[in-house]
A and B are shown apart, each in its own frame.
Chain A
Amino acid sequence: EVQLLESGGGLVQPGGSLRLSCAASGFDFSRFGMNWVRQAPGKGLEWVSGISGGGSSTNYADYADSVKGRFIMSRDNSNNTSSLEMNSLRVEDTAIYYCAKALLYGGIDYWGQGILVTVSS
């Protein structure tokens, strides 16, 4: 059974940093890309970042007011974990953050339960 368990969320002040982790189990972790998707309160889904199975390729949302240049996604295939380092956090980064496993050719087939990040003074 595929399981994705996020940790590291919480309350942080604007301008602060936070590191989210995702512990994966139940599948051959290094074969599949991983993603982070967020959802602000009462809003829709927003893709944040993705990393290839081997970790050599990483992509980030780069539309206006997005995360590129502030967030860093990484993975440790020896420990079946994925991480999202979030810096220079803004109030508008407040959201539930989901760790999500990619299908082999794209799309997302499994999601974690989500973890809340609140950016507030």
Chain B
Amino acid sequence: DIQMTQSPSSLSASVGDRVTITCRASQVISNYLAWYQQKPGKAPKLLIYAAFTLQSGVPSRFSGSGSGSDFTLTISSLQPEDVATYYCQKYNIAPWTFGQGTKVELK
């Protein structure tokens, strides 16, 4: 099975900072990659699919890039409401494996 590895596992940043989270697949997955945001006690929320397509209603400060096996989620200007855990997920073939998550906190 393809493994998904996110880095870092956690980060601390200030409001207005640019934040970058990376996700690496152990094999090529083309652009079959999604990013989710999960706040404590809540269900995950889709941010980006197909590696770079922004889900409707998601603020434009979120962006995704990459293809093949290396992907990036960028928050261009961190806001207090962005404090959450972020997950990548590959979905080219089953199993639709998630990364282990990246916890984003405010400095």
Contact = CB atoms under 8 A, between A and B. Distances in A.
Question: DSSP majority for the A interface?
Answer: strand
A45 B91 CA distance: 14
Contacts, number: 65
B89 A47 contact: yes
Given A108-B34, A111-B44, A35 B98 contact: no
Contacts of A106: 32, 34, 49, 91-92, 96
Interface residues of B, number: 25
A45 B96 contact: no
B46 A59 contact: no
Contacts of A105: 50
A113 interface: yes
| Most B C-beta atoms less than 10 A away, residue of A45, A109, A111 | A45
Interface in B49-107: 49-50, 55, 85, 87, 89, 91-92, 94-101
B32 A109 contact: no
Interface of B: 1, 32, 34, 36, 38, 43-46, 49-50, 55, 85, 87, 89, 91-92, 94-101
